[in-house]
Structure 1
């Protein structure tokens, strides 16, 4: 555990007793997780276990039936998603959802927010330094990009809101191994800079290197939690819950 600048780590996101679902079908049964400032945390589990529903509930994209979501000490459950984003949560959604008929540069500035409290805010220049390929493709439309370039753009677009917490739902899903490496390298840079990150992905090896803490979800609740050393040393949990 490394200390955040300015003293001990403070709790950034706290999810407690989250209950939610679709119609009459309950999906989340008391979900909980915590992310401290500067931490990288994963949400792991097989498909259909409630990971994306948890993210959507945090982001105000899906109603919370019971429980609490706190960000920087303030309750944010059931706020509209744009208000959650304004509080400082940046989402890279499953399926990327970039604007297909805007250029790379237009995508990046479309949702940009200048949060003056940040010492080194994210700008086009910094995004292009993180992902040089986006600079090369700056004039191309979103629908002219490869899947990997679209994911880089989705990450860049989230960073341009200058968030305190970056959430990635399926960070490298469907991408080539080479592009995956670029995404993991970029996330490692963000982590070194003190960005808090919550990531969903199925590629365990890079997550064990990247993350401070892991939560495994099964049927809408946490069934395992611990650091990378503990998860690496628990083949039974990996096999049972992740098939890894």
Structure 2
């Protein structure tokens, strides 16, 4: 039986007087890949910020491995085992690729096969080639590989990717999807936000669609493939 890893319940949040989330909920079990889908401005990134302690929730609960994390600062959430690949990548521009990777590296949970520089360079050989280059000297695709790798170097139990392939070339997208498929096969739990539905239908176990701060549809890939009405109404796909 799969272990419940992350559970978000009745999450209410916003900015100032503007409410964004209206009872958001989702669940990720150990080893699952789950998507959070929806048009821009519907509350996906706010949900991620609430999970990661980057923005306070007004109401509701965020539980990771059964422990409430909604009131923890971001660094404590990360220490508990959640790695974030944020929208916009946010790598350190004045550090080299290798310095970016080791800056926050940790193996707090003593994994059997932890992520190391060697494993990262095997996953993304291009980063080995660019190891001495500064972050601001990389292409957009290389920066996204670095952002994913930096999160992996914290050896998380759950990896969250906000806009995993936005603005990337088709070839780089394929490389990112292949890497995520490998992580999934290795048993890492993943929450991914992206607009490219076709690869997500192959990758993910479950999908949640958010509309105006509420989950309006959820189900597995077969159900989403079959529900053309939901795809057109909420995703324009």
1:44 touches 1:242 (CA, 8 Å); kept in 2? Answer: yes
Q: Secondary structure of the residue that 2:93 maps to in structure 1? A: coil
Deviation per residue, 1:114-146 (Å, 9 max, x gap):
225311000000000000000000000000000
**Consecutive unaligned residues in structure 1, runs of 5 or more:** 1-7
Q: Secondary structure of the residue that 1:63 maps to in structure 2? A: coil
1:57 touches 1:78 (CA, 8 Å); kept in 2? Answer: no
**Consecutive unaligned residues in structure 2, runs of 5 or more:** none
Deviation per residue, 1:142-178 (Å, 9 max, x gap):
0000000000000000000000000000000000000
Point out 4+ residue stretches in structure 1 off by more than 3 angstroms: none
Map 1:79-90 to 2 at 5 A. Answer: 79-90=72-83
1:218 and 2:183 correspond: no
Give the number of equivalent residue pairs.
237
1:63 and 2:56 correspond: yes
1:37 and 2:30 correspond: yes
Computed over aligned residues only, the root mean square deviation of the Cα atoms, in angstroms, reads 0.5
Q: Secondary structure of the residue that 2:71 maps to in structure 1? A: coil
Which residue matches 1:164?
A: 157
Which residue matches 1:196?
A: 189
1:105 and 2:98 correspond: yes
Report the Cα distance in structure 1 between the residues aligned to 2:111 and 2:30, rounded to whole angstroms: 14
Deviation per residue, 1:152-207 (Å, 9 max, x gap):
00000000000000000000000000000000000000000000000000000000
Shift of 1:15: 0.1
2:79 touches 2:108 (CA, 8 Å); kept in 1? Answer: no
1:154 and 2:147 correspond: yes
Report the Cα distance in structure 2 between the residues aligned to 1:116 and 1:51, rounded to whole angstroms: 28
Shift of 1:78: 2.1
Report the Cα distance in structure 2 between the residues aligned to 1:23 and 1:197, rounded to whole angstroms: 30
1:140 and 2:102 correspond: no
Which residue matches 1:179?
A: 172
1:24 and 2:17 correspond: yes
